[in-house]
Structure 1
Amino acid sequence: MVQTSATPNTTERKARLEVLTLSTIGFTLMFAVWLMFGVLGIPIRKEFGLTDVQLSWLSAVAILNGSLWRLLAGILTDRYGGRVVFTVMLLFTAIPAYLVSQASSYQALLLYAFLVGFAGNAFSVGIAWNAAWFPREQQGFALGVFGAGNVGASVTKFIGPAIIASVPAAGYLGGLVPGGWRFVPFLYAVLLVLMAVAMWLFTPRTDRKPGQGRPFLEMLRPLGNVRVWRFSLYYVVVFGAYVALSAWLPKYYVDVFGLPLYQAALLTALFIFPASLLRPVGGYFSDRYGARRVMYWTFGTMLLATWLLSMPDGHIVLYLPSRIEPDGMREVMHYTMTVWPFTLLVFLVGVAMGIGKAAVYKHIPEYFPKDVGAVGGLVGMLGALGGFFLPPLFAYAQAWTGLPQMTFVVLFILTAISAIWMHLTVIAMLNKAAPHLKGKIEHHPEGH
Structure 2
Amino acid sequence: MSSKLNIFEFSNPSIRTLHISWVAFFITFLVWFSHAPMLAFIKEAFDLSSQQIKALLILNVALTIPSRIVVGMLVDRFGPRIVFSALLFTGSFLCWGFAFATSYEMLALFRFLCGFVGAGFVIGIRLVGEWFPAKQVGVAEGIYGGWGNFGSAAGAMTLPTLALLFGGDDGWRYAIALTGAIAFVFSFIFYINARNTPKGSTYFKPKRSGGLEVTSKGDLYFYLAMNIPMYIALAVLAWKLSPENLGLLSELATNTLYVVLLVLFVFQTSQIWKVNKEHLQKGVAEIEKYKFKQVAILNWSYFVTFGSELAVVSMLPLFFMDTFELSAVTAGLLASGFAFMNLVARPSGGWLSDNLGRKKTLSVLIAGLSVGYLVLSQIDGLWFIPLAVVATMCCSFFVQAGEGAVFAMVPLVKRRMTGQVAGMAGAYGNVGGVTFLTVLSFVDASTFFMVIAGCAALCFILVQFLDEPSGQMAEVMADGSVELIDVA
TM above 0.5, yes or no, is yes
CA shift in 2, pair 1:217/1:63, >3 Å:
closer
Task: Return the offset for 1:384.
Answer: 1.9
Match of 1:445 in 2: none
Contact 2:309 2:433 (8 Å CA) reproduced: yes
Report whether the alignment pairs 1:214 with 2:207: yes
Report whether the alignment pairs 1:303 with 2:301: no
CA shift in 2, pair 1:366/1:416, >3 Å:
same
Task: Return the offset for 1:337.
Answer: 2.9
Task: Return the offset for 1:12.
Answer: 12
Q: TM-score, with normalisation over the residues of structure 2?
A: 0.74
Task: Return the offset for 1:284.
Answer: 1.1
Task: Return the offset for 1:94.
Answer: 0.5
Contact 2:349 2:361 (8 Å CA) reproduced: yes
Distance 2:202 2:48 in 1: 46
Cα deviations across residues 57-106 of structure 1 (Å, max 9, x unaligned)? 21221112223211221222122111100000000000110111111111
CA shift in 2, pair 1:312/1:200, >3 Å:
closer
3-state SS, counterpart of residue 32 of structure 1: helix
Match of 2:15 in 1: 17
Distance 1:38 1:29 in 2: 15
The amino acid that maps onto 1:163 is L
Match of 2:382 in 1: 336
CA shift in 2, pair 1:73/1:218, >3 Å:
closer
Match of 1:250 in 2: 317
3-state SS, counterpart of residue 336 of structure 1: coil
Report whether the alignment pairs 1:360 with 2:411: no
The amino acid that maps onto 1:365 is P
Distance 1:220 1:13 in 2: 37
Q: Give the % identical residues.
A: 24
Q: What stretches of structure 2 of length at least 5 have no aligned partner? A: 1-8, 224-291, 469-488
CA shift in 2, pair 1:44/1:217, >3 Å:
closer
Match of 1:150 in 2: 149
The amino acid that maps onto 2:398 is A
CA shift in 2, pair 1:75/1:168, >3 Å:
same
Task: Return the offset for 1:265.
Answer: 1.4
Contact 1:34 1:63 (8 Å CA) reproduced: no
Match of 2:183 in 1: 192
Task: Return the offset for 1:13.
Answer: 7.3
Q: What stretches of structure 1 of length at least 5 have no aligned partner? A: 1-10, 171-178, 314-334, 399-403, 431-448
Q: TM-score, with normalisation over the residues of structure 1?
A: 0.80
Deviates more, 1:369-378 or 1:117-126: 369-378
Contact 1:144 1:282 (8 Å CA) reproduced: yes
The amino acid that maps onto 1:409 is M
The amino acid that maps onto 1:380 is G
Distance 1:213 1:418 in 2: 30
CA shift in 2, pair 1:267/1:80, >3 Å:
same
Report whether the alignment pairs 1:38 with 2:53: no
Task: Return the offset for 1:195.
Answer: 0.7
Contact 1:75 1:211 (8 Å CA) reproduced: no
Distance 2:183 2:15 in 1: 21
Task: Return the offset for 1:263.
Answer: 1.1
Match among 359, 364, 382 for residue 428 of structure 2: 382
3-state SS, counterpart of residue 167 of structure 2: coil
Paired residues in the alignment total 383
Distance 1:147 1:47 in 2: 34
Distance 1:120 1:220 in 2: 25
Distance 1:60 1:124 in 2: 21
Distance 1:61 1:211 in 2: 35
Task: Return the offset for 1:125.
Answer: 0.5
Cα deviations across residues 183-224 of structure 1 (Å, max 9, x unaligned)? 122101110111101101122387776443621257443773
3-state SS, counterpart of residue 12 of structure 2: helix
Distance 2:64 2:391 in 1: 29
Match of 1:283 in 2: 350
Distance 2:202 2:318 in 1: 44
Contact 1:235 1:380 (8 Å CA) reproduced: yes
The amino acid that maps onto 2:315 is W
Task: Return the offset for 1:366.
Answer: 2.4
Task: Return the offset for 1:370.
Answer: 3.0
The amino acid that maps onto 1:146 is Y
Match of 2:450 in 1: 409
Match of 2:63 in 1: 65
Task: Return the offset for 1:389.
Answer: 3.1
Contact 1:144 1:280 (8 Å CA) reproduced: yes
Contact 1:32 1:156 (8 Å CA) reproduced: yes
Match among 351, 361, 369 for residue 415 of structure 2: 369
Match among 26, 29, 33 for residue 27 of structure 2: 29
Match among 106, 113, 137 for residue 135 of structure 2: 137
The amino acid that maps onto 1:420 is I
Distance 2:300 2:74 in 1: 23
* Bigger-Rg structure (1/2): 1
3-state SS, counterpart of residue 371 of structure 1: helix
Please report the RMSD computed on the Cα atoms of aligned residues, expressed in angstroms. Answer: 2.3
CA shift in 2, pair 1:209/1:13, >3 Å:
farther
The amino acid that maps onto 1:356 is G
Match of 2:393 in 1: 347
CA shift in 2, pair 1:65/1:74, >3 Å:
same
Match of 1:420 in 2: 461
CA shift in 2, pair 1:74/1:40, >3 Å:
same
Contact 2:436 2:452 (8 Å CA) reproduced: no
Distance 1:214 1:166 in 2: 52
